[in-house]
Amino acid sequence: MSTGLVLDRLRKRFGEVEAVRELSLVIGDGEFFSLLGPSGCGKTTTLRLVAGFEEPTSGRILFGDRDVTQVPAHKRPVNTVFQSYALFPHLNVADNVAFGLRFKDVDKRERRRRVGEALELVHLQGFERRKPSQLSGGQQQRVALARALVLEPAVLLLDEPLGALDAKLRRSLQLELKSIQEAVGITFVYVTHDQEEALTMSDRMAVMADGLVEQLGTPREVYEEPATTFVADFLGVSNLMSGRAEGDGRARLGDVVLVAERGERGARGDVRLTIRPERIRLEPAGSGGANRLPGRVARVVYLGSVTQVFVQVGDERTLQVNAGPADGPPPEEGSEVAVHLPPDALRILAEEPPRP
């Protein structure tokens, strides 16, 4: 039986609040799929609906061909890893991992084998007899992951599992989680508000806002080709500028006409223009050519591998430029520069009507 996950026109209301609105997704077998968005966007509610912790107002949830919309949580082929590890403090690591197997038809020999394999998968061999209090935060999260995987679910749901860890450990475990998912070959559905996590681990991702999917695609597609102003602004850093489109990829920004090769090139009227900071190029003041704006360096922030240069363009607009070592020494604060917005990096986004 297929273990893919299908959400069909899923809705969830809490009183007058519609937390999830007509959500339809197809998540493939063995896919690492992330739900990304700010607090209140509906991503955790969606995960709880899939797990069976919440009942949908309408719509269906299917695992392959099996409709589980009305199936209780403990009978669904899923397991969940939460941000809080929820380990039993009086049990050692092996007993914590084996806990769920007590309720399955698994003999002691098979239980030991599966616990050993799960601990090997998360690199905790030799930790079987330790108590949770003797483990670091990262090790405790690995135990929680092993406890979920030992039950061999068709789909593993992960609700911000790295949120309680420090930044360096989070980055390390991101790569480890992806490797584990590839090794076990099951579907992971990962909820996060951390864009770096979603970009690092996902095969595909859905960016959510107000209970809706704003954009669905691979990390590269969503980052490089944002479909809406919300996605451009939420995912990474974007320079967003209000302009007036004239068709054929041309848009007026003040007195300057810019050419954009990406986005809604046929749009006319009020639009937003967006470009990532790493795609902007700084040139000497007075440099000629299309898609160049005069500016003055307002601030320079050194961050090691990248230098952020904030350039004031016009009276009210400031653009962020990310320059690397290969770009040479950054300009001095207060200096005049030309800002080059390459057409193949500039994107036109149509103005969006207010959302009800």
| CATH code of residue 285 | 2.40.50.140
pLDDT band per the 50, 70, 90 thresholds, residue 333? very high
Dist. CA 332–CA 247, nearest whole Å: 37
Where does the pLDDT of residue 355 fall: very low under 50, low under 70, confident under 90, or very high at 90 and above?
Answer: low
What lies within 8 Å, CB to CB, of 106 at 6+ separation is 114
The string of pLDDT tens digits covering residues 275-296 is 999 999 999 998 888 999 999 9
Other C-beta atoms lying within 10 Å of the C-beta of residue 192: 23
pLDDT in tens, 219-253: 999 999 999 999 999 988 899 999 999 999 999 99
Asked if 173 and 63 sit in the same domain, the reply is yes
Residue 270: what pLDDT?
Answer: 93
Residue 274 and residue 87: Cα distance in Å, rounded? Answer: 45
Q: Which residues contact 297 (CB under 8 A, 6 or more apart)?
A: 309, 310, 311, 312, 331, 332, 333, 334, 335, 336, 337
Does the residue 100 lie in any domain? yes
Angstrom distances, CA of residue 66 to CA of 6, 46, 69, 296: 10, 18, 9, 61
- Whether residues 244 and 210 share a domain: the answer is no
CA torsion, points 255, 257, 260, 265, in degrees to nearest 10? Answer: 100
**79 vs 171 pLDDT, higher one:** 79
Please state whether beta strands 268-275 and 347-350 pair in parallel, antiparallel, or not at all (unpaired).
Answer: antiparallel
Whether residues 126 and 85 fall in one domain: yes
Percentage above 90 pLDDT, the chain: 72
Is residue 153 within 8 Å of residue 186, measured between CB atoms?
yes
CA distance 284 to 288: 10
Element holding 338 (H helix, E strand) = strand 336-340
Q: Say yes or no: 31 and 88 in one domain.
A: yes
- Mean local confidence (pLDDT), 177-193: 92
CATH number at residue 87: 3.40.50.300
Looking at residue 4, what is its pLDDT?
83
First-residue to last-residue Cα distance in the chain: 40
State mean pLDDT over 178-199: 92
Domain count, the chain: 2
Identify the residue whose tokens are 């739900």. Answer: 35
Asked if the structure places residue 273 within a domain, the reply is yes
The verdict on 241 and 181 lying in the same domain is no
Q: Does residue 85 carry a pLDDT above 60?
A: yes
pLDDT band of residue 168 (cuts 50, 70, 90) is: confident
Q: Is 194 in the same domain as 321?
A: no
If asked whether residues 155 and 241 sit together in one domain, one would say no
241 in the same domain as 99:
no
CA–CA separation, 183 and 121 (whole Å):
8
* Cα 35 off chain centre by: 6
Instruction: Assess whether 119 and 218 both reside in one domain.
Output: yes
Give me the domain span that covers residue 297: 237-350
Asked whether residue 219 falls in the same domain as residue 305, the answer is no
Residues in the chain: 356
Tell whether 229 is covered by a domain. Answer: no
Q: For residue 71, which phi and psi values (nearest 5 degrees)?
A: -80, 130
- Whether 231 is in a domain gets the answer no
Q: What is the mean pLDDT of the chain?
A: 91
Residue 72 — pLDDT band, cuts 50, 70, 90? Answer: very high
- Number of Cα atoms under 13 Å in the Cβ half of residue 36: 30
What band does 315 get if pLDDT is binned at 50, 70 and 90? confident
pLDDT bracket for residue 1 (50, 70, 90):
very low
Q: Is residue 108 part of a domain?
A: yes
87 belongs to a structural domain: yes
Last residue of a domain, one of 178, 202, 224: 224
Position 170 pLDDT exceeds 90: no
Q: Are residues 219 and 257 both part of a single domain?
A: no
Q: Are residues 252 and 176 in the same domain?
A: no
**pTM for the whole thing?**
0.88
Which of 199, 224, 249 lies at the terminal end of a domain, its last residue? Answer: 224
* Residue 195 in this model has a pLDDT that exceeds 60: yes
User: Which tokens is 150 given?
Assistant: 């030992």
| Residue 292: predicted pLDDT | 95
**Contacting residues for 189 by C-beta, under 8 A, at least 6 apart:** 5, 27, 33, 34, 35, 47, 50, 155, 156, 157, 158
Give the domain-ending residue among 224, 257, 284: 224
Beta carbons within 10 angstroms of residue 92's beta carbon: 17
Inside any domain, residue 191 = yes
Whether residue 310 lies inside any domain: the answer is: yes
